[in-house]
Structures are given as C-alpha cells and as structure tokens.
C-alpha cells in the first residue's frame, strides 16, 4: 500500500540559455506529491505516518520554499550573491527564519542563509523530481514523485526498496541499532 504526502513550494527560477519566456526570472507555486510504499506496519496500521513523511521531507525541501533556484553556470548567480553580500544578507539575517537544513548533493546545493539553491541542471519539473528523489531516497521508501508547477507537470516511478524496519508504536523507521529515534522503542534481536 502507499502513503501520499503533498507539499506546496513557492520559488523563483529561470531557464538559463532556454529560447523562450522562461529565460526571464519568474516565480511559481509548485505542488509536490511523494508516494511512499511499504507493507502495513502491524502495530500502528499505517505504512508510514504522513506527518513523519512531511517532517522528514520538509526538513530539506524547505530550502526550495521562498527561495531562488539558479543553475550553477547562470551569470545571475554571482550577480545576486554580490548584491546580497553588499546588503549584508548573504550569510543570514535575523528575519530569515524558515530555513531548511543545508545540503549538498551531485545535483544541487542549498544555501539556506540566503534562500538560494544552486542546481547542476535547469530546474524544470523533471529536474526537481530527480533532486528530490536523490535527497530523500535513503530516508523514505519513495515509489513515485509528482511535481506540478504552472502548466508543467511531471512524474517518475521508482522501484520500491526493501521493506524498512518500522517502530510498532509510532511507525517511523528504526535506526541502524534497531531503536526508534522518536519514542525509544528497541527491536528485540
Ligand atoms: Zn518556471
Ligand atoms: Zn517509536
């Protein structure tokens, strides 16, 4: 069975080098749906608690919300950083409070202090799906990601990984020691 969780993200981007209107900086509200598949966890009668999926995913995805997403070779990037530096907001500001956890992967690097994500490829809906899967594949048993942004909609299916060991009391994934990071339950070995 599957659990589905939906997120709304507001972001600005552009398609650098693209021959069309999207080469201008513009914004979207995107809707991301993550589908997690597993067996029903006996104790809690759930696959995975949706609030925990939300928490786990939002921890990193928050970096894209109210953020500027630019490709690494976009000349706007040094220009924006220069302005932020001169304004004194490049390395954070007391009013920048909705920060996600910084990350760096092959595909993207998040700079939460200045609400910027730098991507290797253009952030199309397809590009974003790849980034999200890469960020969360070890944390959640993701089988499908759908992303809608403006007129663009994309989805990708992923092969389910092996069943994860989940806590029979609260449903979240046990750590390598077989201990629930939330409630402290320990699996008998
Ligand atoms: Zn766009
Ligand atoms: Zn637990």
Cα-based torsion angle of the residue sequence 103, 111, 54, 98 in order, rounded to the nearest 10 degrees:
150
Which domains are assigned to the chain? 2-157 (3.30.479.10)
Q: What is the pLDDT of residue 35?
A: 95
Distance 144 CA to ligand 1 centre (A): 22
Q: Which ligand is nearest to the CA of 169?
A: 2
Distance 179 CA to ligand 2 centre (A): 8
Give the model's confidence band at 32: pLDDT under 50 very low, under 70 low, under 90 confident, else very high: very high
Q: Which ligand is nearest to the CA of 168?
A: 2
Q: Where are the beta strands (DSSP E) in the chain?
A: 2-13, 26-37, 67-71, 108-111, 116-119, 142-149, 152-157
Give the model's confidence band at 43: pLDDT under 50 very low, under 70 low, under 90 confident, else very high: confident
Q: Is the pLDDT of residue 189 over 80?
A: no
Give the model's confidence band at 184: pLDDT under 50 very low, under 70 low, under 90 confident, else very high: very high
User: What is the distance between the terminal CA atoms of the chain, rounded to a whole angstrom?
Assistant: 27
Q: What is the pLDDT of residue 188?
A: 86
Q: Is the pLDDT of residue 172 over 90?
A: no
Distance 41 CA to ligand 1 centre (A): 39
Q: Is the pLDDT of residue 162 over 80?
A: no
For residue 48, the surrounding DSSP H or E stretch is none
Those residues whose C-beta lies under 8 Å from the C-beta of residue 108, and which sit 6 or more positions away, are: 117, 118, 119, 120, 131, 135
pLDDT in tens, 44-103: 888 888 888 899 999 999 999 999 999 999 999 999 999 999 999 999 999 998 899 999
Q: Is the pLDDT of residue 138 over 80?
A: yes
Q: Where are the beta strands (DSSP E) in 20-141?
A: 26-37, 67-71, 108-111, 116-119
Distance 14 CA to ligand 1 centre (A): 6
Q: Which ligand is nearest to the CA of 167?
A: 2
Distance 171 CA to ligand 1 centre (A): 37
Question: What mean pLDDT, rounded, does the chain reach?
Answer: 93
Give the model's confidence band at 38: pLDDT under 50 very low, under 70 low, under 90 confident, else very high: confident
Over range 134-154, report the average pLDDT.
93
Q: What is the pLDDT of residue 52?
A: 86
Q: Which chain residues have CB less than 5 Å from ligand 2, an ion? A: 167, 169-170, 180, 182-183, 185
Nearest-angstrom CA–CA distance, 184 and 110: 31
Distance 27 CA to ligand 1 centre (A): 6
The β-bridge relationship of strands 2-13 and 67-71 is parallel
Written as six digits, the tokens of 110 are 């998040």
Give the model's confidence band at 146: pLDDT under 50 very low, under 70 low, under 90 confident, else very high: very high
Distance 122 CA to ligand 1 centre (A): 10
Burial, 179: exposed, middle or buried (Cβ in 10 Å; 0-12, 13-18, 19+)? middle
Distance 51 CA to ligand 2 centre (A): 13
């Amino acid at each position: 069975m599957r659990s589905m969780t939906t997120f709304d993200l507001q972001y600005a981007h552009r398609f650098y080098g693209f021959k069309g209107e999207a080469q201008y900086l513009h914004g979207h509200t995107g809707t991301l749906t993550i589908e997690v598949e597993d067996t029903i966890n006996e104790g809690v009668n759930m696959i995975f608690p949706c609030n925990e999926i939300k928490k786990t995913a939002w921890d990193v995805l928050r970096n894209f919300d109210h953020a500027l997403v630019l490709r690494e070779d976009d000349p706007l990037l040094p220009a924006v950083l220069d302005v932020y530096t001169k304004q004194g907001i490049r390395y954070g500001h007391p009013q920048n409070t909705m920060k996600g956890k910084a990350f760096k992967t092959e595909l993207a690097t998040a700079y939460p202090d200045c609400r910027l994500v730098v991507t290797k490829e253009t952030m199309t809906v397809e590009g974003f799906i790849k980034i999200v899967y890469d960020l969360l594949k070890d944390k959640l048993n993701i089988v499908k990601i759908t992303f809608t942004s403006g007129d663009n909609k994309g989805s990708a299916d992923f092969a389910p990984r092996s069943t994860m060991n989940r806590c029979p009391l609260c449903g979240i994934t046990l750590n390598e020691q077989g201990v629930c990071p939330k409630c402290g339950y320990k699996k008998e070995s």
